[in-house]
Chain A
Amino acid sequence: MVPPAQFDSYYGKPVIKAPVWKSPQIPGYLFLGGLAGASSLIGAGAQVTGRPALARAAKAGAFGAGCVSVAALVHDLGRPARFLNMLRVFKVTSPLSVGSWLLSAYVPAAGAAAFSATTGRMPRIGAAATAGAALLGPGVAAYTAALISDTAVPAWHEGYPELPFVFAGSAATAAGGLGLLAAPADQSDPARYLAIFGIAAELAASSRLKRRIGMVAEPYRSGRGGAYLRAGQVLSVAGAAGSMLARRSRLAGAVSGATLLAASAATRWGIFHAGLDSAADPRYTIVPQRERLRERQREREHPQAQDRR
């Protein structure tokens, strides 16, 4: 057992400012963006493989989730009336700028795909929009991980190599869940497989994350973040198990689908709160930075020891 690290601080005050982003808007925005992006993949795949009911559900879900995701983002702005300033410039150094442009292309495409799928009108435009939404969907699902990682929030920034995979996995879980919930049993197989794939990716990436980042992973295990993440894991496993019965029982499919959607939401809420907690405690900012400085000091003093390693 490693003794708790000693560190100095200014009256225990946080060094960095915690995000002012609010719940449910921002964790909701993360969850719905994932649901939308991955659902567009299901929508396209279902259309190509002749599963019209699954395609309709996925496309409608993708458009609805995309719209609510954008609405949540706008609602969280300090000046919502100035939302369009997001499109005033394009900056690759700002994942929020990249994401805003991505969403402004994606949501109309998802909308056209959903319109065509539900009304049966304009099938060629619908097919093109379906392809477009499927092309942009994975980006929509993953950019939010880049967004939160590109901050000084210790639990998010330190986790940047794994968080996109957690988010992409969680997106697959959610979209698979929606497919199971909304499509008839004889069409929902791909949704079930995608959800199981998502859960596997999510669990593998998050356990690697927690192992790799040391003490900064504490907020992922304890507090509100830890509680949400544990709930997400339990719901994931329960939903995956329930989905095995989806072929035989429409009800089992629907219940497991809803469980998987809840699992994905819980994961996003957990990551959101873990980040806030890691920002609020100066320990997570100061201790790793001190360790980094000590490491550099050691390298300066004993360069030969480094060579031998």
Chain B
Amino acid sequence: MSDPEATASSGQAEQQPRLGFFTDTSVCIGCKACEVACKEWNHVPEDGLLLTGMSYDNSVGLGADTWRHVAFIEQRRPARTVLAENGPAGTGDGGEFRWLMSSDVCKHCTHAACLDVCPTGALFRTEFGTVVVQEDVCNGCGYCIPACPYGVIDQRKDDGRAWKCTMCYDRLGAGLEPACAKACPTESIQFGPLDELRERAAGRLADLHEAGVSDARLYGADPGDGVGGDGAFFLLLDEPEVYGLPPDPVVTTRDLPSIWRHAAAAAAMLAAGAAAAFAASGRRR
């Protein structure tokens, strides 16, 4: 349902299948090849070379200059929830150690708040159903930044404009897969028509549950969620917030009709208040 909706709103005459990412974090090895390939292909500038102490994560999160971000979470959990081949056997009473890794990216939402609130039309829906910023139009108003429920898009400081993942729009146009997916050595990042990816993800989830990995769950795969489903969705092994993802994201513009109604009522109240103030004062004699 949502897929034709996303590609139809691109305004293209010919319908393409909606393209997306399925990031299966259960096979991510944290190599960061996706981060590097993304930076190289898209000429994303260097944005600091600090060591954060957050496990192996030194890029901290998505931003104007980080369009793929690999999260690293070190956990000690009861043995039953641990994927058998994921880390060494338990050591002592704290349960078994596991190391979660996940490559985060722009979700290319079906209902994208960044796109909705952009006042210049710089953000647009492509023929592939993805969401892209036209950097020659963006005037750096910054409205998209707090509108995103995932904290993806951000302002490049020395440039003033907003930047984020384009799902390698130039590569898609040439029939290539995005640089991150191309570089991923374990097929943790899978690229393709979203319908196919959702089927594949459902199969993978069933396999993992059968293998006893009860923690496995899909994130962003449900077209009925608060953003109409993500064009880039995930298989996670813990709650979304553990990875820095919102547990129940909602596109802010879902409430916009009500927001406008309240603003109109407040404007009417102000006009009525002014009328009352003059009525109470009467004509000046």
Contacts and interface: CB of A to CB of B under 8 A. Distances in A.
Classify chain A: how many residues form its interface, as a range. 35 or more
A41 B274 contact: yes
Given A77-B160, A161-B258, A290-B247, A19 B121 contact: no
B284 interface: yes
A243 to B, nearest CB: 12
Contacts of A171: 270
A189 interface: yes
B269 interface: yes
Contacts of A286: 241, 246-247
Report which residue of B113, B152, B246, B266 has the largest number of chain A beta carbons within 10 angstroms of its beta carbon. B266
B275 interface: yes
B138 interface: yes
B269 A139 contact: no
A104 interface: no
Contact of B252 (A17, A157, A275): A157
A293 B217 CA distance: 15
B147 A150 contact: yes
Contacts of B151: 14-17
A41 B282 CA distance: 15
A97 B119 CA distance: 4
Nearest to A291: B248
Nearest to B161: A78
Interface stretch (A140-148, A216-224, A250-258): A140-148
Nearest to A7: B241
Nearest to B260: A146
Contact of B146 (A7, A152, A289): A152
Contacts, number: 259
Given A79-B160, A152-B146, A142 B277 contact: no
Chain B interface, >50% SS class: mixed
A142 B263 contact: yes
Contacts of A41: 270-271, 274
A16 B150 contact: yes
A9 B151 CA distance: 14
A84 B155 CA distance: 19
B139 interface: yes
A9 B241 contact: yes
A279 interface: yes
Contact of B155 (A78, A82, A92, A293): A78
B247 A198 contact: no
A19 B142 contact: yes
A16 B246 contact: yes
Contacts of A45: 274-275, 277-278
Given A152-B147, A198-B273, A289 B252 contact: no
B281 interface: yes
Interface in A168-195: 168-169, 171-172, 176, 186-187, 189-191, 193-194
B281 A49 contact: yes
Given A38-B274, A41-B274, A164-B266, A10 B244 contact: yes
Interface string A1-35: 00000011111011111111100000000000000
A86 B162 CA distance: 15
A160 B284 contact: no
B253 interface: yes
**Which of B119, B121, B243, B258 neighbours the largest number of chain A CB atoms within 10 Å of its CB?**
B119
Interface string A70-99: 000000111110110110110111111100
A143 to B, nearest CB: 6
A49 B282 contact: yes
Given A152-B252, A193-B281, A292-B248, A142 B117 contact: no
B117 A95 contact: yes
B249 interface: yes
Contacts of B155: 20, 78
B255 interface: yes
Nearest to A22: B142
A276 to B, nearest CB: 9
B146 A19 contact: yes
Interface string A194-211: 100110010000000000
**8 cross-chain pairs, A with B, having the tightest CB-CB distances, nearest first:** A78-B140, A78-B160, A10-B244, A164-B266, A82-B139, A138-B267, A193-B277, A97-B119
Interface of A: 7-11, 13-21, 37-38, 41-42, 45-46, 48-51, 76-80, 82-83, 85-86, 88-89, 91-97, 100, 137-139, 141-143, 145-147, 149-153, 157, 160-165, 167-169, 171-172, 176, 186-187, 189-191, 193-194, 197-198, 201, 275, 279, 282, 285-286, 289-290, 292-293
Interface of B: 54, 57, 60-61, 63, 71, 73, 113, 116-122, 137-143, 145-155, 159-162, 239, 241-249, 252-253, 255-256, 258-260, 262-271, 273-278, 280-284
Given A78-B141, A78-B160, A290-B248, 15 more contacts: A7-B241, A10-B71, A15-B241, A50-B283, A77-B141, A86-B119, A93-B253, A97-B119, A142-B264, A142-B270, A151-B252, A169-B270, A194-B277, A197-B273, A289-B248
